[in-house]
């Protein structure tokens, strides 16, 4: 494990990304997109899992414009309060710019075979969906993204595989919005949606809403999609 520095495309500075590399290279790269808790232990554990699958894992610090190095959990009320403050302050358009910069850097990094995907959770799940519509990433995986029904107008721009994991008990994504998303995706050849009988954040490692069976099934589907797209 290590870190890398990536230059922002708007000239406003640079940001760091947590990196875990697999034993064998060259290989594809997975850009992991953080939740509202920053690049925390759950994301670092997820990066280790991705590296164990045989891919380079990169998790950029997307909150760097607000405060670099955010690393909090879902365990206390104070941390939840801070997490929602960060979510409200976060500029999603700038976040997409930073993710595009990360994808570009990943394509040319040592050990990369040039193929790059994204995989995000919660806020990151929404951003992964947006990356499918707005970037050249080779595959995008969205876990319990919020407000996806507000992004359906650009679904026609998706040209690479997009996997969408949806929690049927998601308190942050109402049932009506979930249904709209599933229905819209049903007519798109590159988009596959999957529903799980679990709460929001069912795949957050050691999280309060962890649901082992749903996480295992979703992670297996993600691994399959990553392998197919990234080699």
| Catalytic, out of 98, 149, 170, 199 | 170
Largest interatomic CA distance in the chain: 44
- For residue 71, the 8-state DSSP code is B
Phi first, then psi: give them for residue 119, nearest 5 degrees: -145, 120
170 is catalytic: yes
- Cα separation, 70 vs 99, in Å, equals 17
* Residue 199 three-state SS: strand
**The dihedral sign for the CA sequence 121, 226, 181, 153:** positive
Place of tokens 């909090």: 72
| Catalytic, out of 61, 199, 200, 211 | 200
200 is catalytic: yes
- Cα separation, 134 vs 113, in Å, equals 22
Q: Residue 125 class from Cβ within 10 Å (0-12 exposed, 13-18 middle, 19+ buried)?
A: buried
> Known catalytic residues?
170, 200
């Amino acid at each position: 494990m290590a870190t890398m520095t990536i230059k922002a495309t708007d000239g406003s500075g640079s940001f760091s990304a947590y990196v875990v590399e697999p034993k064998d290279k060259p290989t594809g790269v997975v850009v992991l997109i953080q939740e509202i808790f920053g690049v925390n232990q759950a994301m670092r554990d997820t990066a280790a899992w991705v590296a164990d699958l045989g891919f380079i894992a990169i998790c950029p610090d997307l909150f760097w414009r607000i405060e670099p190095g955010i690393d909090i959990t879902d365990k206390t009320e104070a941390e939840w309060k801070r997490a929602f403050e960060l979510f409200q302050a976060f500029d999603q358009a700038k976040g997409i710019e930073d993710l595009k910069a990360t994808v570009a850097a990943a394509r040319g990094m040592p050990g990369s075979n040039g193929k790059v995907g994204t995989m995000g959770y919660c806020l990151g799940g929404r951003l992964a969906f947006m990356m499918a519509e707005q970037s050249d990433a080779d595959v995008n995986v969205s876990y319990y993204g919020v407000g996806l029904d507000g992004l359906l107008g650009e679904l026609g721009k998706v040209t690479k595989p997009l996997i969408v994991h949806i929690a049927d008990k998601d308190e942050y994504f109402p049932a009506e919005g979930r249904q709209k998303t599933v229905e819209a995706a049903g007519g798109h050849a590159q988009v596959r949606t999957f529903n799980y009988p679990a709460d929001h954040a069912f795949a957050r490692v050691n999280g309060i809403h962890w649901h082992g069976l749903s996480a295992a099934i979703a992670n297996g589907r993600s691994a399959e999609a990553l392998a197919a797209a990234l080699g």
